[in-house]
């Protein structure tokens, strides 16, 4: 079916897809994977409200902002029930060339995608590196109060850099500061109760690794500082001035359980506009009233994360999943896209991966050492890898995920 469409549209200079929903996204994926010579100019929607601004690095525009000319073709990728109405809209907008996608089985496409041993480099780059950067940029622009036009302008100014092989831009870098924690959560994804004794990580290694990453990158949109509990470690107060003073680092988040009141002598650092405190809501397990009123009273930026059910990551044993499952799970996991984690002088695919390796549970050496020999090429290949062995020690994205109450406390460690 796609071959028929490919033959019809390949002669056009301006190729659009109408539809940013599941069908539109699946058709875009198929073009990017099966016919990478087809360049999709943009995705069109009736209304940008409730639609993403970009998909896989391709902009999404409202129909009334497109100038349809003779050399334009639109591939109609929406559910059958919307087709008549959209053809009317396109005809009214003087679009002469419309190609309909007759039907698409989304499950079949998901299965077919898993069969690819290696997805094209450009697709992996768009999916795992460009789009996460765009999403993070959108988050930061929205916090600043920018409108959609301003956001799309900032992204368009950046997009060529993102595809430039010689440049590195990091959407989000998670930095582990130490394993000391005031709680012992049974389902801690980062296995913090398993660290015995709990300790502050080596500050010199953390600092020199961040310096190296910052020297290689053109920008780091977010640095997320995690523990254990970050407010229990001196490393937090030592690293903040450095991160705040780096112009390439756009924002800093500190993820806390809200049990430890920050040290008063460092309040001015925490009040810096680049810094935001993310308070994980642990429901009745933790009384965060004092912490939240401290943030309010001292005019610190903070967000209370919604309390929901947690998904159990399961034990620390190796599951022996096949490569298809590893690809599917890593491809679905937001941590795999946005939580590349710096643990002392090693960069891991997510924070669970860092803990699994540090604790000796994960046997695969799946990390990039950060030192003078680290290159942009090495980091970009790591960012765009198709799967991670860490998912073989994790149930977060398995088909029958187990939902559990958040922050159940334990006295013994997870095995
Ligand atoms: S191990 Fe895999 S599934 Fe688990 S958090 Fe990391 S990337 Fe996600």
CA of 394 to the centre of ligand 1 (A): 6
List, in order, residues 6 or more apart from 270 with CB less than 8 Å away: 240, 254, 262, 277, 298, 300
Does this model's pTM top 0.85? yes
Provide the pLDDT for residue 412. 63
List, in order, residues 6 or more apart from 87 with CB less than 8 Å away: 76, 98
Question: Is residue 366 in contact with ligand 1, taking CB distance under 6 Å?
Answer: no
Question: Is residue 302 in contact with ligand 1, taking CB distance under 6 Å?
Answer: no
Q: What is the DSSP string of 96-125?
A: --EEE-----HHHHHHHHHH-SS--HHHHH
CA 389 to CA 326: how far, in whole Å? Answer: 7
Task: Encode pLDDT of 1-16 as tens digits.
Answer: 688 999 999 999 999 9
Whether the Cβ atoms of residue 274 and residue 252 lie closer than 8 Å to each other: yes
Q: Are residues 376 and 271 in the same domain?
A: yes
Q: Are residues 197 and 333 in the same domain?
A: yes
Instruction: Answer whether residue 153 is part of any domain.
Output: no
Q: pLDDT under 70 in the chain at which residues?
A: 1, 412-415
Among 85, 100, 116, the domain-final residue is 116
Question: Is residue 339 in contact with ligand 1, taking CB distance under 6 Å?
Answer: no
Instruction: Answer whether residue 278 is part of any domain.
Output: yes
Pick the residue whose CA is nearest to atom 1 on ligand 1.
391
Strand order in the sheet with 40-45: 54-55, 58-62, 40-45, 14-18, 72-76, 98-100
CA 389 centroid distance within chain: 18
Question: Is residue 390 in contact with ligand 1, taking CB distance under 6 Å?
Answer: yes
Among 116, 148, 175, the domain-final residue is 116
Q: Are residues 201 and 318 in the same domain?
A: yes
Provide the pLDDT for residue 147. 95
List, in order, residues 6 or more apart from 285 with CB less than 8 Å away: 183, 406, 407, 409
List, in order, residues 6 or more apart from 11 with CB less than 8 Å away: none
Q: Are residues 174 and 71 in the same domain?
A: no
Instruction: Answer whether residue 138 is part of any domain.
Output: no
Q: Are residues 21 and 83 in the same domain?
A: yes
- Please count the CA atoms within 13 angstroms of the CA of 119 that sit on its side-chain side: 24
List, in order, residues 6 or more apart from 178 with CB less than 8 Å away: 198, 199, 200, 201, 227, 228, 230, 232, 233, 235
Instruction: Answer whether residue 375 is part of any domain.
Output: yes
Among 92, 116, 140, the domain-final residue is 116
* Segment holding 208, helix H or strand E: helix 203-216
Whether the Cβ atoms of residue 230 and residue 276 lie closer than 8 Å to each other: no
Question: Is residue 341 in contact with ligand 1, taking CB distance under 6 Å?
Answer: no
Q: Which domain holds residue 74?
A: 2-116
Q: Are residues 193 and 305 in the same domain?
A: yes
Provide the domain count of the chain.
2
Task: Encode pLDDT of 187-206 as tens digits.
Answer: 999 999 999 999 999 999 99
What letter does residue 413 receive in the DSSP assignment?
A: P
Could you identify the atom of ligand 1 that is nearest to the CA of residue 390?
A: 1
Instruction: Answer whether residue 410 is part of any domain.
Output: no
């Amino acid at each position: 079916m796609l071959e028929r469409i490919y033959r019809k549209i390949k002669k056009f200079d301006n190729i659009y897809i109408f539809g940013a929903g599941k069908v539109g996204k699946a058709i875009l994926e198929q073009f990017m994977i099966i016919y990478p010579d087809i360049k999709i100019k943009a995705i069109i929607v009736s209304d940008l409200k409730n639609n993403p601004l970009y998909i896989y690095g391709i902009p999404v525009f409202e129909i009334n902002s497109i100038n349809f000319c003779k050399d334009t073709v639109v591939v109609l990728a929406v559910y059958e029930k919307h087709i008549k109405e959209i053809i009317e809209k396109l005809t009214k907008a003087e679009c002469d060339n419309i190609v309909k996608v007759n039907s698409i089985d989304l499950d079949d496409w998901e299965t077919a995608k898993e069969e690819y041993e290696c997805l094209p480099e450009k697709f992996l780059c768009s999916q795992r590196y460009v789009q996460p950067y765009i999403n993070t940029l959108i988050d930061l622009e929205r916090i600043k109060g920018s409108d959609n036009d301003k956001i799309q302008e900032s992204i368009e100014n950046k997009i060529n850099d993102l595809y430039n092989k010689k440049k590195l831009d990091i959407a989000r870098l998670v930095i582990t500061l130490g394993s000391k924690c005031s709680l012992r959560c049974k389902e801690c994804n980062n296995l913090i109760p398993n660290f015995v004794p709990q300790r502050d990580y080596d500050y010199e290694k953390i600092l020199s690794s961040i310096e190296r990453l910052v020297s290689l990158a053109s920008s780091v949109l977010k640095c997320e500082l995690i523990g254990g509990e970050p407010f229990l470690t001196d490393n937090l107060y030592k690293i903040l001035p450095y991160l705040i003073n780096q112009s390439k680092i756009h924002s800093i988040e500190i993820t806390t359980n809200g049990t430890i009141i920050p040290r008063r002598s460092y309040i001015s650092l925490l009040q810096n506009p680049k810094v935001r405190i993310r308070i994980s809501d642990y429901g009745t397990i933790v009384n965060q009233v004092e912490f939240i009123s401290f943030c309010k009273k001292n005019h610190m930026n903070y967000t209370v994360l919604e309390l929901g059910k947690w998904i159990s990551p399961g034990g620390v044993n190796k599951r022996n999943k096949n490569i298809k499952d590893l690809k599917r799970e890593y491809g679905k996991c937001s941590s795999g896209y946005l939580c590349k984690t710096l643990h002392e002088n090693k960069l891991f695919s997510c924070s669970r991966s860092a803990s699994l390796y540090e604790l000796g549970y994960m046997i695969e050496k799946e990390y990039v050492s950060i030192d003078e020999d680290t290159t942009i090429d090495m980091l970009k290949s790591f960012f765009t890898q198709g799967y991670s062995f860490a998912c073989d020690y994790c149930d977060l994205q398995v088909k029958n995920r187990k939902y559990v109450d958040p922050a159940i406390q334990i006295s013994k460690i997870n095995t």
